[in-house]
Amino acid sequence: MVHFSLNRKKQNTAYRRGVGIVLFNRLGQVFVGQRIDTQSSAWQMPQGGIDADETPEQAAWREMLEEIGTNKAKLLAESQKWFTYDLPSSLKKTLWKGRYRGQRQKWFAFLFLGNDNQININTSNPEFREWRWVDFEQVTELIVPFKKPLYENIIHEFAVLRGVLADYPEV
């Protein structure tokens, strides 16, 4: 008689629910920040998890305030679908205590209505060490490689918005 063991290492297939933020300025550039918890030279757009008691849109507003210190913005659009990305093997065991294989995110596009001096990345729990505005298409060159396909999809989804940014009145 042959015995087979079904005691295989369980692979986590769950995705962490999150949101991402494309924050445009009136020139069509987007906000990117360098994460404070890594020495990587990569830049990213704000993103974060969705709390159990909030909608994705509520999470996006909260994350904006938590990560850049302001929510002086107008919501322009919500992605039509949820986007996913997988973490590389080297990060799966350490990020989020190994519970997730990556993230499933709903993305939101906003127009920043404030002045640059109102952006404050030195929040109570800072996530970025530096920030800047960059051309929207440039974000794929600045992000960590495993998120590049995600950012390409985000650019495709929200590229049409750049043409209408100047139409919003000054506040």
Range from 39-43, 121-125, 151-155 carrying the lowest mean pLDDT = 39-43
Q: What is the DSSP string of the chain?
A: -------PPPPP--EEEEEEEEEE-TTSEEEEEEETT------B--EEEPPTTS-HHHHHHHHHHHHHS---EEEEEE-SS-EEEEPPHHHHTTGGGG--SEEEEEEEEEEE-S-GGG-----SS--EEEEEEEEGGGHHHHS-GGGHHHHHHHHHHHGGGGGGGGGSPP-
Mean pLDDT of the chain: 87
Of 135 and 96, the one with more pLDDT: 135
Domains, the chain, in order of start with CATH, read 25-166 (3.90.79.10)
pTM: 0.86
Tell me: the pLDDT tens digits for 8-27? 444 556 988 999 999 999 99
The predicted structure's pLDDT at residue 88 = 80
pLDDT of residue 3: 45
Q: Is there a contact between 75 and 23 (Cβ–Cβ < 8 Å)?
A: no
pLDDT at 95 over 90: no
pLDDT surpasses 70 at 2 = no
